[in-house]
Amino acid sequence: MLFNSIDFAIFLPLVFILYWFVFKKLKSQNILMLIASYVFYGWWDWRFLSLILFSTILDYSIGVLLAKENSLLKRKVLLFTSLGVNLGFLGFFKYYNFFLDNFIAAFTFFGGNFTAEPLHIILPVGISFYTFQTLSYTIDVYKKNLEPAKDFISFATFVSFFPQLVAGPIERASNLLPQFYKNRVFNKGQALDGMRQILWGLFKKIVIADQCAEYANLIFNNSESYNGVTLVLGALFFTFQIYGDFSGYSDIAIGVSRLFGFNLMQNFAFPYFSRDIAEFWRRWHISLSTWFRDYLYIPLGGSKGGTGMKVRNTFIIFLVSGFWHGANWTFIVWGALNALYFLPLLLLKKNRSNMGIIAGDKLIPSFLEFRGMFLTFLLTMLSWIFFRANNLTHALSYIKGIFNETLFEKPQIFPIITFIYLIFFLILEWQGKSNQYAIQETFAKNNIWLKWSFYMILLLCIIGNVSNEQDFIYFQF
């Protein structure tokens, strides 16, 4: 079920009414939320509900056993059982054909003759997200940083919680799971804030991402037909498409959660206003970046070792992050490219130079801030070409098509309306960059008519663009 669908527009109010006005007790609310989450996921393909249920039973049982077990060896066996099964499912559904194809290619390269038919595997929606979410629970329980769940319904609802089940944020068990144990009381202010964030998320998705997707797809799918400056615009459109699409999903997920009394972590913090790549990765897909930091980077030694260890760990994190995104060499190169961007900052110990909000309370940034933001944006846009391209050959030919004499010609595609939307969007993002999301405080202290007129403008923009509906990009991850 998509957030930007008629089905969800009916589903959400129905669950909301039942949740607050019919099932008022904690246990019944959790059961309702569990059923709603399974309906939400099963709407796409009910067969994969068994996969979530199996992972839920497995990790709940391992958590219970870890609480009773003191033997270090047996605790490690339990931990690696959870890691092996969950990552095994992820590996099979997502990477089986990738490894098979590359094994055949390597075998053939060395003179062998090996053939095998790839499997026609359907990738379960959201498997990369809920797998990491359940792993955070098992690892935290193993480390004794979290008490194991004693109520199966609460744990099952945590695993399948529908607002963020499909595309995050990837919630830590230590943050989300305890919220299922506490009585929740309807809070009007929290609900209104949630509605406001949902509105902004829908605007990002339907008006910004889907508008940009139309032209990004056209240019990338026919890149050989366009001149250099048009290819730059294609990369620019995809840069805003993926941000509006993914951060828009996160905004809707966080807003929907607040309607039901839950607080999820911020997943994007205005990343395109970053002054260097290190800052960008502190602001982009925060739930994944911090997951890799806490469960992979720090256990590997983090930045405490020598230069060689720092370089090794940096490349491991970015390459794994790239591979997490998909079974294609383009994602791995995308990860490696970002590691190369990051490395000079790490080695010069400047990776934490920009920790505050750009420009602070000032209306415009300083020249140095603007220069850093502009260069970081260009580097990020270049790396997104690999992310969007069909394969490495396509990515390299696309970049080659940019850097020639046609870079200074007239664009072959220049959608004025889309650029107007982007300028409007960037103005709102800039004025709200100190908040959790851009319009959290927009017109909050002004006349109520001005505030609601602004909301109506956003709503009319959304309604005016619903015919250009696109799937969420991260559904495939």
**Which residues belong to the active site?**
325
| Cα 125 to Cα 56: distance, rounded to the nearest angstrom | 16
39's tokens: 């309906």
Task: For residue 203, give the amino acid letter.
Answer: F
Q: Three-state DSSP class for 356? A: coil
Question: How far apart (Å, rounded) are the C-alpha atoms in residues 402 and 246?
Answer: 26
Decide: 213 and 241 in contact? Cβ < 8 Å.
Answer: yes
> Is-contact 178 158, C-beta < 8 A?
no
Whole-Å CA distances, 445 to 360, 432, 436, 465:
20, 14, 17, 29
In angstroms, the CA 211 to CA 466 distance is 10
Distance CA 165, CA 140 (A): 20
Cis peptide preceding 163, ω within 30 of 0: no
What is the spatial distance between Cα 348 and Cα 85, in angstroms, rounded to a whole number? 40
State the Cα–Cα distance between residues 5 and 14, nearest whole angstrom.
Answer: 15
Compute CA distances 119 → 46, 100, 108, 374, whole Å.
20, 10, 20, 44
* CB proximity list for 28: less than 8 A, separation 6 or greater: none
Measured distance CA(310)–CA(304) in Å, rounded = 8
Q: Whole-angstrom Cα distance, residue 105 to residue 114?
A: 9
3-state secondary structure 71-114: CHHHHHHHHHHHHHHHHHHHHHHHHHHHHHHHHHHHHHHCCCCC
Evaluate whether 421 touches 211 at the Cβ level (below 8 Å).
yes
